[in-house]
Every structure is written in structure tokens, then in C-alpha cells.
Amino acid sequence: MQNFSYHAPATLGEACALMAEAPDRSRFLAGGSDLHLALEHHAGPVDTVIDLKRIAGLEGIEETPGGGWRIGALTRMAALERHQGLRAALPALCAAAAVVGGPPIRNRATLGGNLCNASPAADTATPLLAFGAQVEVSGGGVPGSNASRTLALEALWAGPRSTTLRPEEVLTAVVIPPPPTGGGANESTANESTAHGNAFARLTRSAMDIALVNAAASLTLDGSGRLASLTVALGAVGATVLSVPGTDALLGRPVDEALLEDIGKMAETAAQPITDVRASAEYRREMAGVMAMRAVGWAAAPAKGDTP
């Protein structure tokens, strides 16, 4: 590992200012589980590491009015995995957090780090995309930087390991909107009997592995068990985590085998996988369909909602 100077500022402003001094040769440090490997293997020269963990207010999970959630960027995977309220409302996110590395990694790795590392296989990114999450970013008041701003999660990524953030900008929080009340085809029947469900499915080579493919689904069923909303996201089958387009066309249908078959085909079409040492593109494409079917099936049947 290369030598670098280490800073642990107490405020966001200091952190961003430090980064602005030499953005090409500096890196932010959150949990460090990705940065550590990058420094050892593929990062260019790094002189300065700026630790964000001393900055107050960047960690924590809170429910927002209406059933949404706000999660601080420094919140660790282990905290997501164990949070009772989150497990009840967003099991897809908890399931994804629970499979990132092993327990020691999950005690260090942060949600913000997982998203800003911008790996298309980042497990927490897929459910967050399915939830329609947004991210808050801040330039810490550095002159010339953007003011604090909020952007859609999909606008965060420019490509594999690349974000749209300015170098000094820090992702500070993830905001998950309340689940849709049900709309589209069944607006007239939307009432208190609608049910929300979400689930995460993942395929790996071994029990502890990066995803070959992952998928998340978030849906609402109306009182008669028909789809009132549906979003499906896929990971590790494109340059970024991606949404399966066209799911609105399925609204109004019950979640049955025919629907799952259609989801599977749509996911296979949406996937843009590559071949690498982990799997071939053709296997990944087929499995994108299988994982999407599983995620939707599980999301619709909370009683069976365990992930593998």
C-alpha cells in the first residue's frame, strides 16, 4: 500500500476544502472497505486520505412523515441490517445490506460509500433504485462548488466506478420516499387495503461473493391483489444499476406465473451484461430474468419474502 497523509476533519466544510486543494490525488474515506482495496490495487497515486467519520450528523436512520426514510451516508451496513423499523418497511434494503461482505466488513462499510463507489454490483443500490430514492450531496460551502442539492439516485452514477459528483462534493444522506399510494390503472380502487411489498434477490458463486446479478422489486397491490405500482431494478448487468422500463404496462394484473414470465422477459431485455471471469453475458442476461421474477414474486408474497 502506498503512503499518504491522513486527515480526520470535524466538519464537512473542512473536509470539502481539503479535497478541493488537490482533488486528483485525494480520496474521501468512509468505511474504507472499498478504498483499502483501491489503494492496494488500482487507484492512481494518492497523497491524501480524508476521513469523514468524525463529521457529526452523517449517520443514522429515521422515518419521515408519510412512511419515507432518511438514512445518513455514514450509516453502516450492520445498522441497516439490524434496524427493526427498516426490516419491516424495506426488507429489500436490509436483505441487500446483510449480504455485503462478511460481518467485519458490514461493521465498517457505509451506505454512502457503497453508492459512491459506483459499482454496478453494489447490493444496496438496487433496492434504493427500485424505491425511487434520492441522494443529498453537499460541497461543504467550498467556493465555486454547488450549494447542497438533492438528486435522483440514478443521476449519481456516470458509469462503472464513476459518479457525477464534483470532486469536493460529499453524499450526505439517502432519502427514500413513502411508498406510492397506488395509482395508474387502479386509482379508483386505491384504499386502505392496499399492500406494499419489496424484496431483493441475488445470485453469487459462493456464500460470500460479489453479485453476479441482483434484482429488487417494490410494488403495491390493491385490495383485489392487482398491481397498483411496480418498479424493478437490476444490478451487475450494466454500466450502472438500472431500472427495468415499462413495468407500468403491467399495472392492474395479478401477480401470477404469467406476470412473472413477462417480468422475466422484460428484465432480460433491459439487461446489458458483459462477460467477465465471474459469469458470461448470456448467463447473466438469463439470470437477470430469473432474479427479477424472484424479487417480484417475493415482494408480492411477504409471507414467503425470505431471500436466499
Which residues contribute to the site for other proteins (CB under 8 A)? 203, 205-210, 277-280, 283, 286-287, 290
Please state the closest distance from residue 178 (CB atom) to other proteins, in A: 33
Find, among 196, 202, 146, the residue nearest to 176 by Cα: 196
Please state the closest distance from residue 277 (CB atom) to other proteins, in A: 4
Q: Is the Cβ of residue 120 or residue 140 nearer to other proteins in the bound state?
A: 120
223 and 194 Cβ atoms separated by less than 8 Å:
yes
Place of cell 447490493: 123
Residue 298 identity (one-letter amino acid): W
Distance (Å, rounded) from C-alpha 248 to C-alpha 244?
10
Neighbours of 62 (CB within 10 A): 11
Find, among 169, 172, 189, 190, the residue nearest to 181 by Cα: 190
Neighbours of 277 (CB within 10 A): 4
Neighbours of 51 (CB within 10 A): 15
Distance (Å, rounded) from C-alpha 178 to C-alpha 187?
17
The phi and psi torsions of 120 (rounded to 5 degrees) equal -65, -10
Strand partners, 233: 216, 243
Distance (Å, rounded) from C-alpha 16 to C-alpha 26?
11
Q: Is the Cβ of residue 158 or residue 258 nearer to other proteins in the bound state?
A: 258
Please provide the size of the chain in residues: 308
Find, among 241, 259, 265, 251, the residue nearest to 296 by Cα: 259
